[in-house]
Structure 1
Amino acid sequence: MMKRTSIFILTLLVTTISRAQGPAAYVNPFIGASTSEGAAGIYHGLGKTFPGAATPFGMVQLSPNTITGGDNGSGYSYEHKTIEGFAFTQMSGIGWYGDLGNFLVMPTVGALQTAAGDQQHPKEGYRSTYAKQSEKASAGYYSVQLTEQPITAEMTAAPHSGIMRFTFPANGQSRIQIDLARRVGGTSTWQEVKVLNDSTIAGYMQCTPEGGGWGNGAGKGNYTVYFYAQFNKPLKKYGVWSADIPDGWSRKLEDVQSDRYQQQVAKASILPGVNEKAGKHLGFYTEFTTSDQEAVLMKAGISFVSVDGAKANLEAEIKDWNFDGVRQQTFDAWNKALGKMTVTGGTEEEKKVFYTALYHTMIDPRNFSDVDGKYIGGDGKIHATDKFSKRTIFSGWDVFRSQMPLQTIINPRVVNDMVNSLVTLADETGNHYLERWEFLNAYSGCMIGNPAVSVMTDAWTKGIRGFDINKGYTYAKNSVEKFGNGVKGYSTGGLSVSLTLEYAYFDWCVGKLAGALGKKEDEKKYIARGANYKNVFDKNKDWFRPRNDDGSWQTWPATGRMQQGYGTIESSPWQQGWFVPQDVPGMVTLMGGKEKVLADLDTFFTKMPENMMWNDYYNHANEPVHHVPFLFNRLGAPWLTQHWTREICARAYHNSVEGLVGNEDVGQMSAWYVLAASGLHPVCPGSPRYEITSPVFDSIHIALDPAYAKGKQFSISTRNNSPANRYIQRAWLNGKPYQHCYLNHANIAAGGTLVLEMGSQPAKNWGIQ
């Protein structure tokens, strides 16, 4: 009896400690941290997240880097066996060569090496092998044991700064070295470093399209990262290395990775004792003697504005050398941020998946302003604002579907900031239209459509209105006029279907925004243009089909609507064709009626593979189909939405490195899970309607922002919920029977409770009103 009681007390104690740690204790930053094409079965790879330290929507992400680019945009992949260094900036879940990965810090011992070396021959550079089992990552913290020399590297982050702790072996030639040229997807093209005193260095790295980066230069990434770094061990033996990069050499990713370029870097001039240096390919090092297990710390602030901004950021956030104190503050910040959603029930694994997904939705859009509110605008000038936080990294085509709608509920201030940032960017550049994929002020043009128009319309519809609506509306109109279906009412060429359908939706968004603003003529005009999706539907083929410039249909392939890339982007016409969120009834009529559509969707879902990796049916690994499981609610069969969303949550998301079946895409993949697992998801952002589905958890409590909502909390509670009992039998909203399979945003903002009674069989009389 005593033994069983002791076990019970121990179990209770562990449970209590775990709960006391809060939701941040469930975060596993390794979920999705792989770019493996082999595991994904497609060149897009898997989640492409990074495992390093970050704060909610912070400027700094201190993370290990294992690769410089290609389609490995996060700079890290779990299966790689060496670490190149630890960078202060990262992107999450993207391809297209990636960018950032700046201010790469590496602890080393022995002779100084100026090139990283490659993964096959790490000893030829400062790159190091590492003990995979030693890697640890949690919310705001990362550590690893390097094995080239026995050095432990630890790091944690503050919003605009970070601190690193390196535990060295006994050695007379220990070192911290910083590669200032390093950049994911290419190189920074000009750097400057200056020693300010015996503990401090400062400088900057210019990153231009000529140095590759975002889209290997096609993304127009053009930014400067300023740094202000301090060491807790005096700078006594230090210096700079400088590689002579000839003026005629191209500096795109393929050039930087070439043997010729790397050999040039490897024979860089080493300049001991140099206090100040500017050049094309610089690094800085400081050497010292260490005793066994001696910890040496380095901390740095970064800024995209100035060295003074970087200094102010560091001094405001990390005032001393208390590494563990900063780590705790960051963990507490994550607990506060993640605590906006509290779940009960479900398994421990499901909670880890949920809170890690929620964590991944709070990496971007990141803060681009310094602590004093200053930021670099689209005109290259310094601006300052106390009305909003300037934000950046808007992966529009991805995030308008789930990520931004999630934030309208839990972080409306972030959405307000993002809309402000896009509007002021359009103003500052003089372009006067809204960027579709914004990266550090760059108009990258990545992907298609006018997603910022959707985000603005959705925000305004849901009462998020702290931005200049007159400019915003004008720029939204300019966007759809500049990028749209034109006078023909449809787009032609290789992306005819995808462009036509998505442009039609964004036209509808402008119409809805016009109606909300009392602009009746515009409302009529743009709502009508929202029906242009019909112009690429071929009734002879009973599906959407791309058109040529002369209006003729493009040749129908042998595989028909299942042909990947047939008038579509990253999809087939069958997958893209469901994207008519603004007019589901019209779409259903066009497709032959409800029963025919339901039969088609049944095939679409039942034929997807068990593991849900990239496929020709319901392809959850990519965004075009993310709304499709919720269409059943609109088709009078809500039990099928309930069934399939529970299947997707269980089969496409796991607590593992390969736990995301597709790219994280700056929060989109994770936001889908957070919403669906909570029992809500929109089909049509810009409309206040959310579809109700089967929650994974017994209860979900959502804390509301009093500046944007009347209520304090909205809760979804279940009875008899389990993996088998996934079907909603009855529902009550604030104590009253509720027969609808949807909620409006006003229901959530008012606060209250939705109670769902669950069962093992579909209740075909609920939710069809």
Structure 2
Amino acid sequence: MKKLVLPLLLCLSLLLQAQENPLSYVKPITGTQKMGHTYPGATVPFGMVQLSPETDTIPYEMNGKYNPDVYKYCAGYQYEDKTIVGFSHTHFSGTGHSDLGDFLIMPTTGKLQLNPGTATHPETGYRSSFSHSTEVAEPAYYKVKLDDHNILAELTASNRVGFHQYTFPGNEPAHIILDMMSGLYNYDNKNVWSFIRVENDSLVTGFRQTNGWGRTRIVYFAMTFSKPFTAYGQQNYAQDVYKGFWRKFDQTRNFPEMAGKQLRTYFDFNTAPGEKIQIKFALSSVSTAGALRNLRTEIPGWDFNAVKAAGQELWSKELRKIQIESRSKEEKENFYTAMYHAFINPTTYMDVDGAYRGLDMNNHTANGYTNYSTFSLWDTYRALHPLFNVIQPQRNADMIQSMLQHYNQSVQHMLPIWSHHANENWCMIGYHSVSVIADAIIKGNAPFDVNAALDACVATARHRAYDGLGYYMDMGYIPEDKIGASVSKTLEYAYDDWCIAQIAQKIGRTDIYTEFIKRAGYYRNVFDARSGFMRPRLSDGTFKASFDALQTHDQGFIEGNAWNYSLYVPHDPTEMITMMGGKKQFAAHLDSLFTMELPDKYFAETEDITRDGIIGNYVHGNEPSHHVAYLYNYTGYPWKTQERVRMILKKMYHPGPDGLGGNDDCGQMSAWYIFSTLGFYPVCPGSDQYALGSPAIDKATLQLENGKSLVIKVKNQGDKNVYVQRVLLNGQPLREPFITHADMMRGGELTFFMGAKPLKQ
């Protein structure tokens, strides 16, 4: 009998596990503490609205100097804070810089106060204390009790519409405050202009123009209430708005047009105990009419729970694209939270009819594709976009279409570097749009004009005025005495140029291939054989005399040092290993990277490097090192890759507020986790090869868009059994620790056999 029962129980357990809704394992609160810079609020996959609480909105400057505290609030929320200022509709997820925080709404009771107050004295303004004990954060849903006002706040969203639901106590005057001044990374002159038009007693429209990280950004809105308000008014801090003919009206109360640089408004309601006031708030980059169309199309009714359910069903659909089996609840929470964060950005950037504001500040229409924004490409080219090529290929193709339209609208004729909301921020280095484009083309995911795409890549890479490219093209490297972070830029340009060469080779553009494969070798020009490191070089050809391989600043690097960036030649690892002394010496270098201890002086007063994201001198919190653990595969020591990857997974990720060892960077940190947990990683996007690692789950099924499935089975997997003994692809043994994209897309089974001892042959 026992022989029959035990297998039946096992089958039942596996069946229940397969039927589990992965939604329950997503923890949006993960990464909201310290440097993760994620937000806990409501959004749908790749949604245009990110409706989330702000626990503070710190000014960018204090007393005329940069305020270092502003860095904490890139996403507007820090878990250790005790108060909430309000709920705004736009956020970046996991970035190291910020903007947005548009259209902050706060419900209040009692005496009307139109200033936010302070964190230490919330009673002096409209903010409220709160407790995590009443806080619920789920995909497409957020709830919290605003203790000072005794209001239950609930948020959900569709793609373009935020849906608020506030339950009032009913024993005091009720107000809804709309703060048009509030925002993230607030500069003194960030708010250029705001306009509000009260259409009737339940519908309000308007726009906000800002000059922040995105220097010319306009967002339109339409806001409707579930019941009429009894009165409304404004507080306008720019008194010059009242000069001239407008003084004929009392604009402070019940006047239907409000405008100014510093504008806060309020709407009064009569409420019964326990009554809910609902707000639908839609966005558009084109017009208030577009925002209203988005609102009426996406959420025509007032059923909050139905909208929440629809949003969560969208998340369930996306999360089920990879179904994992694991005996560890924590592993499931890590994995599906990583998938959640990976599917937030890039964000939809167009109305329901396809209209959007372009980089040229004109209105355009996306025909036959979804237009996207929020491209943090220095981060996301490494793993996020390659992940999309596996399980989100159609979306990734649309994202590339969006990049190509950015190029067409750019007066500089360049692909995006770091762009959002019809603005180019020029943040970070390289021109990694070309990596995203090359990766898609090489992997056969290119339903667009590949010749036009190559032309855009080439024009971008030949733009002599951009960040030292003229020096790079003329001298074969960027001199540090002319342009800072010269080594990092030279190395990243060389990789991007290799990507361009791969496209040209694939489509037969021989002249382009010849030009850019030569440029792809320029990494050699900043390697100093005497020190064994990549090193800043001066315009006279000599290497910079004062050199510290552990230092980042003033040493030719950005978000990394010579130890890390000397390992950044993803397109030519064989030559890199040879330059650095051969396989044995290179592996020893990698060992030292992970085991050395950095002195405290290298962590002094900088947000670029903190101990939170560091293992030895390996900086997982900054992206240039994300491929490094997989480099052992090229040295004959793949078991060390397996060991290091499993260590990083354990040290850098866990399902808690401080569960990310650095900025999630629009999903890049999470994409690294997904790939590495599955057992492989794209060391060099733009090639069709993945390096194998050490899978950390028992089984995974990838539902591919071509209708096939890739099943990853892991035999004898566990915390001690991290070493791969052998790997079978559809029953055939793999002889090297690599797999191709084509192999994966054909579907079938990839089986890992694990053990407690490394296989060193």
* Superposition TM-score, scaled by structure 2 size: 0.90
What residue identity is the alignment partner of 2:474?
Answer: V
Q: Could you tell me which of 406, 421, 443 is aligned with 2:402?
A: 421
Q: Which moved more, 1:644-653 or 1:604-613?
A: 604-613
CA distance in 1, matches of 2:364, 2:290: 13
| Change over 3 Å in CA distance of 1:626–1:346 after alignment to 2 | farther
Task: Please report how far the alpha carbon of residue 612 of structure 1 lies from its aligned counterpart in structure 2 after TM superposition.
Answer: 5.9
1:722 aligned to which of 714, 718, 721: 718
Contact 2:53–2:88, Cα closer than 8 Å, also in 1? yes
Match of 1:54 among 43, 47, 60: 43
Q: Provide the residue aligned with 1:544 in structure 2.
A: 534
Residue 499 of structure 1 is matched in structure 2 by: 489
Q: How does 1:180-259 map to 2 (within 5 A)?
A: 180-186=180-186, 187-207=190-210, 209=211, 213-214=212-213, 220-244=214-238
| Shift in Å, 1:307 | 1.0
Instruction: State the one-letter code of the partner of 2:392.
Output: N
* 1:435 corresponding residue in structure 2: 416
Structure 1 residues 86 and 735: alpha-carbon distance in aligned structure 2, compared to 1, 3 A threshold: same
- C-alpha displacement of 1:352: 0.4
CA distance in 1, matches of 2:568, 2:308: 44
- Equivalent residues in 2 for 1:562-641, closer than 5 Å: 565-607=554-596, 613-614=613-614, 617-641=617-641
Give the alignment's Cα RMSD to 1 decimal: 2.3
Matched residue, 1:257: none
Alpha-carbon contact 1:156-1:162 (below 8 Å) kept: yes
Change (3 A) 1:92 1:563: closer
Rounded Cα–Cα distance in structure 1 between residues aligned with 2:17 and 2:326 = 15
Question: For 1:745 and 1:13, how far apart are their aligned partners in 2?
Answer: 34
Evaluate the alpha carbon distance shift between residue 18 and residue 227 of structure 1 in structure 2; reply closer, same or farther with a 3 A threshold.
Answer: farther
Query: Aligned runs of 1:9-20 on 2, under 5 Å?
Result: none
2:691 and 2:738 in contact (8 A); partners too? yes
Judging changes above 3 Å, is the alpha-carbon distance between structure 1 residues 18 and 749 closer, same or farther for their aligned structure 2 residues?
Answer: closer
* Inter-partner Cα distance in structure 2 for 1:84 and 1:55: 23
Q: So what's the TM-score if we normalise by structure 1?
A: 0.89
CA contact (8 A) 1:167 1:296 kept: yes
Judge conservation of contact 1:614–1:662 (CA < 8 Å) in 2. Answer: no
| 1:749 has 2:758 as partner | no
Once the 2 structures are TM-superposed, how far is the Cα of residue 606 of structure 1 from its aligned partner? 2.6
Report the counterpart of residue 82 of structure 1 in structure 2: 83
Q: Deviations over 1:237-263 (max 9, x none)?
A: 22233222669xxxxxxxxxxxxxxxx
- CA 1:532–1:355 in structure 2 vs 1: closer, same or farther (change >3 Å)? same
- Residue aligned with 1:643, SS: helix
Paired residue for 1:339?
Answer: 320
The aligned length equals: 712
8 Å contact kept, 2:355–2:364: yes
Distance 2:403 2:733 in 1: 42
Alpha-carbon displacement from aligned partner over 1:100-143 (angstroms, at most 9, x marks no partner) = 11111100012222221222222221111112321110111111
Partner Cα distance (1:153, 1:91) in 2: 22
Instruction: Note the residue ranges of structure 2 that are not aligned, 5 or more in a row.
Output: 59-69, 242-249, 599-609
**Residue identity opposite 1:405 in structure 2:** P
In structure 2, distance between residues paired with 1:611 and 1:561:
14
Identity of matched residues, %: 38
Counterpart position of 2:676: 676
Q: Distance in 1 between matches of 2:597 and 2:715?
A: 30
Check whether the contact 2:206–2:288 (CA below 8 A) recurs between aligned residues.
Answer: yes
Counterpart residue number, 1:388: 369
Deviation at 1:466, TM superposition (A): 2.1
Deviation larger for 189-198 or 78-87: 189-198
Q: Distance in 1 between matches of 2:619 and 2:293?
A: 46
Q: 1:196 corresponds to which letter in structure 2?
A: E
Distance 1:117 1:13 in 2: 56
> Are residue 525 (structure 1) and residue 515 (structure 2) matched?
yes
Give the direction of change, closer, same or farther, for the CA distance of 1:95–1:636 in structure 2 (3 Å limit).
Answer: same
1-structure distance, mates of 2:525, 2:327: 46
- After superposition, the Cα gap between the structure-2 partners of 1:111 and 1:17, relative to the gap in structure 1 and judged at 3 Å, is farther
Q: Partners in 1 of 2:485 and 2:175 — Cα distance?
A: 52
Residues 610-629 of structure 1: per-residue CA shift (max 9 Å, x gap): 98634661111110100001
Alignment of 1:360-399 (within 5 A): 360-399=341-380
How far 1:285 moved relative to its partner? 1.6
Report the Cα offset of residue 505 of structure 1: 0.7
- 2:470 is the counterpart of 1:488: no
Q: Which letter maps to 1:549?
A: S
Contact 1:47 1:664 in 2 (8 A): yes
Maintained 8 Å contact 2:108/2:175: yes
- Measure, in 1, the Cα distance between the counterparts of 2:711 and 2:19: 22
Give the 3 Å change call, closer, same or farther, for CA 202–21 of structure 1 in structure 2: farther
Whole-angstrom distance in 2 between the partners of 1:145 and 1:744: 50
Alpha-carbon deviation of 1:565?
A: 4.9
Matches within 5 A, 1:64-79: 64-69=53-58, 70-71=70-71, 72-79=73-80
Q: Report if the CA contact (8 A) 2:41-2:50 is conserved.
A: yes
Q: In the aligned structure 2, how far is the partner of 1:246 from the partner of 1:354?
A: 54
- What aligned pairs does 1:18-417 form with structure 2 within 5 A after superposition? 22-34=21-33, 36=34, 46-69=35-58, 70-71=70-71, 72-96=73-97, 98-186=98-186, 187-207=190-210, 209=211, 213-214=212-213, 220-244=214-238, 271-417=252-398
In 1, Cα distance between equivalents of 2:24 and 2:387: 22
Is the alpha carbon distance of 1:561 and 1:278 closer, same or farther for their aligned partners in structure 2, counting shifts above 3 Å?
Answer: closer
Kept after mapping to 2: 8 A contact 1:608/1:618: no
- Separation (CA, whole Å) in 2 of partners of 1:77 and 1:183: 15
Specify the code of the residue in structure 1 equivalent to 2:537.
R
Task: Describe the superposition over 1:432-491 as per-residue Cα deviations: whole angstroms up to 9, x where unpaired.
Answer: 111211122212110001110111111111112122323321121122222432211001
Map of 2:607 onto structure 1: none
Cα pair distance change 1:736/1:16, threshold 3 Å = closer
